[in-house]
Amino acid sequence: MSEQREFVSAGRTTIITESGIDTGIDYVLVHGIGMGHRYWSEFAEALGRTGRVFALDLPGFGDAPEPDEPLDIAASGDLIAEIVAHEGLQRSVLVGHSMGTEIVVEAAARHPEFADRVVLIAPTVNPRERTAAKQAVRMLQDVSMSKPKVMALGLMYYLKAGPRWYVKKLGTMLEHHVEDSLPKVTAPVLVLRGRTDTVVPDYWARDVTRLVPDGRYIEVDGHGHEAMITGGVQIAKLVAEHAGTTLPDDDEIVAAPPLTVLGKAGIWAADYLYAGSRQLVSLFRRRPPARYLKGDRRKPVIVLLPGVYETWVFMAPIAERLSKAGYRVSVVYGMKHNRRPIVDTSRMLQNALTRVHVPSAGRIIVAHSKGGLIGKHLMSEADLGVRGMVTLCTPFTGSKLARYAVGRTLREFGPTNGTITELAGRTSVNERITSLSPSFDPHVPGGSALDGARNIALLGAGHFLTLASEEAADTVLTEVSRLADREA
């Protein structure tokens, strides 16, 4: 049972939602930009079994009315201290997420008497990327942003706050240099980062931990920037432990709710925004870096096959990961935006590879969407030293959405199309294929599972966003390494 009330200071209203039980531990939850108290729900409910929880809607966000002007981050920290004092909290644990971590740091640094413990979940802003454009791209890339629960909450809150207020508050967030205040925090600090968080890179989270006098760093597997939404109970257990208590052993991580219409719409929108950004980058990056061709000659060469209307730029995050791991990455020229029929492109690719000496360690195809169909056709017709293929979001059984497409390029993906059905019958190569499927693919709603192949379900969602996720890059690298280690 929760209780909601207003706290007014200097004409600005903060909404306080209190829940939990009185054990002597009080958790103050400070949300990130554009959000509000509801996105803590599962996390707050779990914490409430170990103490009182005070989830805030800062002025202008969530249910709190918008003031004339936003507070800067330091003044927001003062506001948190004022609330703690007004509520009479004793053993207060200040918990911030994203922008909320900057506010919590200021509160603890400027008013140490009101911070018994501090928790920073996905601390911002990384000084190397302190621009609005860079932060927007990173947020789009973050795999957790494409999960249904996150998309639904994010859309609800961002629409509520409105773009004008969001931009105003973003300015104060980017102007703040949290690294200057971190050394002044005397309370014990727990820094939490989701392993697939692209907004908060690992090196920055570790820098935050080093900058505070008493810091501890934990990286949480399987989650991104919004870890306390996607893994509420798991994160709550870590926070409770930092506060000196424990959650009951019977707590289990609750699965995300089924995807709603709003969630699907959010994923579609984010997917196309990311695809648009990649098309824009493609205008200026015609050729891949020369270093892609350098690497360990004992490892197979990676042949990159993008999807329809795509260039290699769409797959650049995965190519980068493979290149850094020592693989030579080869981009096939002449495909342009990959609009030719599947069979024609496969045969063109076969001719191109025939003219190049087969590497001693062989080749591995890494493909996205249509590229996986091209790769399967090639593997079933010619050897060419291909040891296997790792695909992402490939419509091996077609896509029912193809019937609504204008033009032959996309209609080729229809489930009853001759090429799709003919390829389905070529099963001899399936055992050498790994197919990665996101939790929701707007363009391939039937999924990418392939009979006889190694099928792996990813946590993230999106047809294009998947290519930018660390989860996908990690999985591709793992599967490429597995294929490379197999006997030829």
The amino acid present at 51, given as its one-letter code, is G
Say how far apart CA 34 and CA 38 lie, in whole Å. Answer: 12
- Flag whether pLDDT at 56 surpasses 80: yes
- How are strands ordered across the β-sheet holding 454-457? 329-331, 301-305, 363-368, 386-392, 433-437, 454-457
Q: Which of 132, 202, 476, 478 is nearest to 316 (CA)?
A: 476
Q: What is the pLDDT of residue 362?
A: 95
Q: What is the pLDDT of residue 71?
A: 86
Categorize the per-residue pLDDT at 265 as very low, low, confident or very high, splitting at 50, 70 and 90: confident
- With vertex at residue 448, the alpha carbon angle to CA 262 and CA 442, rounded to the nearest 5 degrees, is 20
- Flag whether pLDDT at 156 surpasses 70: no
Report the DSSP pairing between strands 3-9 and 454-457: unpaired
Q: Average of pLDDT values for 302-331? A: 94
Categorize the per-residue pLDDT at 135 as very low, low, confident or very high, splitting at 50, 70 and 90: low
Q: Which of 122, 117, 135, 105 is nearest to 32 (CA)?
A: 122
Asked if 102 and 172 count as a contact pair (C-beta separation under 8 A), the reply is no
Note the pLDDT tens digit of each residue in 186-240: 999 999 998 888 788 889 999 999 999 999 999 888 788 888 887 888 899 999 9
Q: Average pLDDT of the chain?
A: 87
- With vertex at residue 65, the alpha carbon angle to CA 64 and CA 66, rounded to the nearest 5 degrees, is 120
DSSP 8-class letter at 288: -
Q: Which of 221, 39, 225 is nearest to 124 (CA)?
A: 225
Q: Which of 339, 341, 330 is nearest to 304 (CA)?
A: 330
Q: Average of pLDDT values for 65-69? A: 81
- Flag whether pLDDT at 470 surpasses 90: no
Q: Is the dihedral of CA 67, 159, 33, 30 positive or negative?
A: positive
Please report the domains of the chain, with CATH numbers, ordered by start residue: 3-258 (3.40.50.1820), 264-485 (3.40.50.1820)
- Flag whether pLDDT at 141 surpasses 80: no
In the numeric block, which tokens belong to residue 87?
A: 């509520």
